[in-house]
Amino acid sequence: MLPNTGKLAGCTVFITGASRGIGKAIALKAAKDGANIVIAAKTTQAHPKLPGTIYTAAEERIDILVNNASAISLTNTLETPMKRVDLMMNVNTRGTYLTSKACIPYLKKSKIAHILNLSPPLNLNPLWFKQHCAYTIAKYGMSMCVLGMAEEFKGEIAVNALWPKTAIHTAAMDMLGGSGIESQCRKVDIIADAAYSIFKKPKSFTGNFIIDENILREEGVKNFDVYAIKPGHPLLPDFFLDEHPDTIIKKVESRGAVPELKEEKPQPPPKPRSGAVEETFRIVKDSLTDDVVQATQAIYQFELSGEDGGTWFLDLKSKGGNVGYGEPSHQADVVMSMSTDDFVKMFSGKLKPTMAFMSGKLKIKGNMALAIKLEKLMNQMNARL
The residues that are catalytic are: 135
Q: CA 249, CA 84: separation in Å to the nearest integer? A: 30
What's the Cα-to-Cα distance from 210 to each of 123, 155, 185, rounded to whole Å?
13, 19, 19
How far is Cα 163 from Cα 221, in angstroms, rounded to an integer? 17
| Residue 180 CB neighbours (<10 A) | 14
Bridge partners of residue 161, in order along the sequence:
117, 209
Is the separation of the CB atoms in 219 and 168 below 8 Å?
A: no
Give CA torsion, residues 16, 19, 24, 28, to 10 deg. Answer: 110
Long-range CB contacts (within 8 A, 24+) of 256-264:
257/184, 257/233, 257/352, 258/350, 258/351, 258/352, 258/355, 259/349, 259/350, 260/350, 261/345, 261/350
Q: Which residues have C-beta within 8 Å of that of residue 199, sequence separation ≥ 6?
A: 7, 8, 13, 30, 64, 112, 114, 116
Helix (H, G, I), strand (E, B) or coil at 57: helix
Phi and psi of 14, rounded to 5°?
-105, 125
d(CA 339, CA 351): 12
Provide the 8-state DSSP code for 229.
S
